[in-house]
Amino acid sequence: LACGTIEPPLGNTRLTIIKLISALIATNTQEVNDVLDQLNTVQVLLDLFFHYTWNNFLHSQVDKCLAFALNTPNLEATENNPLISNIFIKCRLLQRILEAWEDNETEQGKDGGKRRGYMGHLTNIANSVVRQTDGCLGDFLTQHIDEDTLISWQHYVESTLKPTNELHSRVLGGKHPALSDNKDDEANFKEVSFPEDATLQTELPKFPNHHR
């Protein structure tokens, strides 16, 4: 959802266009990837993502665009995928994630500072990258991203992203009821005495199917 007054507002038209772009990226066709690279579309999407801090409709769509681009079945052809090169070289995705995270930490550290509205989706985007770095994408990044950025990225993954994922995976309020042990439930009520209601004992025999 959007929050506050932003000039100019994002508007439904631009949001609808971004949804269309998301659907186009999902097709993973060479022609589409070439055009998106030429137009530098992902750069525009990222600029909008960070500019409209509280528009979660926008953040969700940009998150989907990048997930579709990174989760393609033929990612092994990374070198020949202009969209992947665009995302990591021209758009500097790793650097922008690191910069945005640092800016958010600074903002939150201020008196009355707030966590920026896109941080949840930024976490999703970072996780999409990490899921692919064990394969061909990792080789691509090693070849095309400077060493300092890769070191900073690895430090971020280990010291920030992983703890964030662990925190988000915790069940609020403790163990989920569906995972609880029935024996534990029985033990909790073992020492509780439930007095018999005299009225109930009187009424039960009136039912013909009741068996003591």
141-186 confidence digits (pLDDT tens): 999 999 999 999 999 999 999 999 999 888 777 666 666 566 655 6
Which amino acid belongs to residue 160? T
Rounded distance between C-alpha atoms, residue 81 and residue 19, angstroms: 21
- Tell me if 87 sits within 8 A of 93, measured CB to CB: yes
Q: How many CB atoms lie within 10 A of CB 171?
A: 9
77-92 confidence digits (pLDDT tens): 566 789 999 999 999 9
Helices (H), strands (E): how many in the chain? 12, 0
Is 197 a residue whose pLDDT tops 80? no
User: What integer pLDDT is reported at residue 14 of this predicted model?
Assistant: 96
Continuous H helices in 52-194: 56-70, 82-85, 93-108, 119-132, 136-144, 147-156, 162-169, 182-189
The pair phi, psi for residue 90, each rounded to 5°, is -70, -45
User: What integer pLDDT is reported at residue 72 of this predicted model?
Assistant: 74
pTM: 0.78
